[in-house]
Amino acid sequence: GENVEQHPSTLSVQEGDSAVIKCTYSDSASNYFPWYKQELGKRPQLIIDIRSNVGEKKDQRIAVTLNKTAKHFSLHITETQPEDSAVYFCAASSRGNEKLTFGTGTRLTIIP
């Protein structure tokens, strides 16, 4: 089955700086890669996703890049703000597979 590894497990960034979280996946058939944000005590919520037919996707301060050859994808947050503090999860699934496999999460702390 799919295995998703996520790094780092914790990340502290000065407010206004950029944050990068990286994930690798094992199944070359995977073609859908979402990112979820979970604020303290809250439910996970989708913030951005990418499919394997594109290499990069942006939504305001958030971007995701995908390298299919190397089987890794990354989340980039620019101009970080205090409200970006949360746990971020990457995930992967493949065509015909109804399941998402999640990474172990990255706790991002924005330092004012």
**What is the binding site for other proteins (CB under 8 A)?**
1, 6, 9, 31-32, 34, 36, 42-46, 49, 89, 93-105
User: For residues 27 and 14, what is the distance between their CA atoms, to the nearest angstrom?
Assistant: 35
Residue pair 104/9 in contact (Cβ under 8 Å)? The answer is: yes
Whichever of 42 and 61 has its CB closer to other proteins, that residue is 42
Whichever of 46 and 111 has its CB closer to other proteins, that residue is 46
Mind giving me the DSSP string for 1-12? ---EEEE-SEEE
Whichever of 24 and 93 has its CB closer to other proteins, that residue is 93
Contacts of 68 (CB under 8 A, 6+ apart): 52
Minimum distance between the CB of residue 91 and other proteins, rounded to whole angstroms?
8
Minimum distance between the CB of residue 9 and other proteins, rounded to whole angstroms?
7
Whichever of 13 and 32 has its CB closer to other proteins, that residue is 32
Minimum distance between the CB of residue 20 and other proteins, rounded to whole angstroms?
19
User: For residues 56 and 87, what is the distance between their CA atoms, to the nearest angstrom?
Assistant: 22
Residue pair 65/74 in contact (Cβ under 8 Å)? The answer is: yes
Minimum distance between the CB of residue 63 and other proteins, rounded to whole angstroms?
18
